[in-house]
Amino acid sequence: MTVRKITIADAAFEPSPGQDADIQQGNVIDQRHGGPVTIGYGRYGANQRIDEHIKVDDIMLILEGQITVSSDAGTETAGPGEIIYMPKGSSLSIGAGAEGAVTAYVTYPHWQEAIDG
């Protein structure tokens, strides 16, 4: 691996697995590239929500709109430039507001391998 610039145009968006909301994510860097982390972008339609038990550490930075995450720790809403840190093992609900949302994410380790494993 070498130093690489990543933009949202590099993301091949696809529906998030296990749900039928209008929520898509596109990995740009993942297990195919040999490093320890997955890097990608996410898109949430207006008022769309997903419930998840996450099997990796997931760091989500909001680029546009607002994201609300509810978990045992309470409910947090984040906007542009803010981050939601979701440690491995968290059970949570991730939802966008009326304007939808665009996010960037980093997971350690690779979330697709954790789901398959």
Binding interface with a second copy (CB under 8 A):
1-8, 29, 35-37, 39, 57, 59, 61, 63, 69, 71-74, 76-78, 81-88, 90, 92, 104, 106, 108
Closest approach of a second copy to the CB of residue 64, in Å: 8
Question: Which is nearer to a second copy, 49 or 88 (by Cβ)?
Answer: 88
Closest approach of a second copy to the CB of residue 74, in Å: 8
Handedness of CA 23, 54, 3, 79 (dihedral sign): positive
Tell me how far apart the alpha carbons of residues 23 and 5 are, in angstroms, rounded to a whole number: 24
- Contact yes or no for 44/96 (Cβ under 8 A): yes
Instruction: Tokens for 68, please give them.
Output: 């609300």
